[in-house]
Every structure is written in structure tokens, then in C-alpha cells.
Amino acid sequence: MSSESSEETAAAAPDSAPAKQSWKCPLSDAHVHREDVRKVWKECQEESFWYRALPLSVGSMAVTGGLIYNGVWKSSARFGPFPKLAVAGLLGFAVGKASYVGTCRSKFQELGIKEGPGSGPWSRRGPSGPGRRHCHHECEECKKKPQGPPAEQA
């Protein structure tokens, strides 16, 4: 039985070496063109500004200004109403941009970029460099391989 398993592994080893060299990760080697990604990113930036961030910013500033004008909120003795209006505008802008993330994600998914770490402009992946894998995808072949114990460092 042990001789059969060693023969099977010896026969499988030469076949798997060329296949591994020509294999590319499907997530990093997508058929998505850079121009398309750049176009969708620019659309997301412009649409999130004009359709969400700007209206929410102006609206929150108008509501804040109305509350200050009617006396519900007091304006600052030193700076007047400007700090409250500025904070309301910034919060409205941030909430507007954040509310458009789902729409942008669906636009990138239409291009063929799937959800997950390392995909899209919203990823939190660290800088890539030597010793770092570009693709964090683990293929089915890698999942099936048994992992040995970690090597001890001396």
C-alpha cells in the first residue's frame, strides 16, 4: 500500500509542476480593463458628491442654521454660528459619501470585481511589496493540500 501511494505521488508531481507555473489567480488576473475600473471609480466619486454628499451637507447646514436662527441652538459667543454650520456640513458630507458605498460596490461587481478583501477602492489591505502576496484568494487545490507543522526558527 505504501508503494502504491509513493508511485501515485511521483506520477502526480511532474504533472502538477507545469500546471502550477502556468496557473494564475482568477481574482488578480480578471478580464477587467483598467480604463473601465477608472471610469467606474470616477463615476462613483462624482455621483456620490452630486447626489448624496452635497445635498446632505447643504441640507444639514440649512437645518442647523434654522435651529440657530429660531433660538433652539445658541451660536458661539466668540465665533458665531460658523462652527456649528461647519460641523453640520462636514457630517452631512461624510454621511452622504458613506451612504453611496453600496451603490459603488454594485457597480464594481457588474464589472466582475467580487466582494472581499483586497478588491475595490474600499479595501483596507496594507501596502504590497516584496514577500507579500498580491492575491489573497485560496484556490480549491490549495485547500485540499494538507499543511505540515510550521517550521521552527532557530
Confidence of residue 36 (pLDDT cuts 50, 70, 90): confident
- Count CB-CB contacts under 10 A for residue 113: 19
Residue, of 119 and 88, whose pLDDT is higher:
88
Supply the pLDDT for residue 74.
95
Residue, of 152 and 56, whose pLDDT is higher:
56
pTM, two decimals, is: 0.56
Cell, residue 63: 437645518
* Beta carbons of 104 and 53 less than 8 angstroms apart: no
Cell, residue 43: 463615476
Is pLDDT above 60 for 12?
Answer: no
Counting beta carbons within 10 angstroms of the beta carbon of residue 99, is it exposed (0 to 12), middle (13 to 18) or buried (19 or more)? middle
